[in-house]
Amino acid sequence: MSFSSIDFPVKVDLNACIADKGCTVCIDACPLDVLVIDPATGKASMKYDECWYCLPCEKDCPTQAIRVDIPYLLR
């Protein structure tokens, strides 16, 4: 249940992500509200391991910066 490091399913390409310019599309789309802007990078990142692998974040991303993997436990 509790793990020291987690393989987060949502991977963000930091070069492509434009969250630092005000984009919040993926963060808005997530039904579980697990994505946030990482204060260190200004880019989108997954904060909570609560993913339904439903893909709106990936599909709606205006720069195709997101790739959602199937969570490890299900893979």
Partner 1 sequence: MQTINNEERALTTAEIETDILVIGGGTAGPMAAIKAKQQDPSLRVLLLEKANVKRSGAISMGMDGLNNAVIPGYATPEQYVKEITVANDGIVNQKTLFAYAENSYAMIEELDSWGVKFEKDENGDYAVKKVHHMGTYVLPMPEGHDIKKVLYRKLKQTRVKITNRLVATRVLIAEDGRVAGALAFDCRSGVFTVIRAKAVILCTGAAGRLGLPASGYLFGTYENPTNAGDGYSMAYHAGAELSGIECFQINPLIKDYNGPACAYVTGPLGGYTANAQGERFIESDYWSGQMMQEFHQELAGGKGPVFLKVDHLAEETIANIETILHSNERPSRGRFHEGRGTNYRTDMIEMHISEIGLCSGHSASGVWVNEHAETTVQGLYAAGDLACVPHNYMLGAFVYGRLAGESAASYCANTELAKVDTTQVETERQRIFAPLNRKHGLSPAQVEYKLRRLVNDYLQPPKVARRMEIGLVRFEEIRNDIQQMLATNPHELMRAAEVGFILDCAEMAAKASLFRTESRWGLYHARQDYTERNDAEWSVHVQVQKDQAGTMSVFKRALEPYIVEPDDVEKAVYQQIRIQPKGTVVLSGGSHEL
Partner 2 sequence: MELDLILRSRLADPDPVVRRIALIDLVDETDPDIAEPLLIAALQDSNKEVRIEAALALEAQDSPEAISALLKALEDSERSVREMAAQSLSANKNPELGALLIAWTEHVDADVRVAIFRALRELRLAAATVPALNALADQDARVRREAVAVLGWLKDGTTLSQLVNLAKNDPDTEVRRAAVGALGFAADDTVRVAVDLALFDIDWQVREEAATVAGKLGLDSLVASLIRALEDTYWQVRLKAARSLGRLKNKLAVASLCEVLVHPISNLRKEAALALGEIADTAALSALAVAAKDPDPDVRKAANLAVSRISLVHNKE
Residues in touch with partner 2 (CB under 8 A)? 18, 21-23, 25, 62
22 binds, among partner 1, partner 2, none (CB under 5 to 8 A by kind): partner 2
Q: Are 51 and 71 in contact (CB under 8 A)?
A: yes
- The count of C-alpha atoms lying within 13 angstroms of the C-alpha of 7, restricted to the half-sphere facing its C-beta, is 8
Of the residues 3, 4, 15, 75, which one makes contact with partner 1 according to CB under 8 A: 75
Q: Which residue has the tokens 């399913």?
A: 9
Q: Judged by CB under 8 A, does residue 40 bind partner 1? A: no
- Nearest to partner 2 of 31, 62 (CB atom): 62
The option from partner 2, partner 1, none interacting with 18 (CB < 5 to 8 A, set by class) reads partner 2
26 half-sphere exposure, CB direction, 13 A CA radius: 32
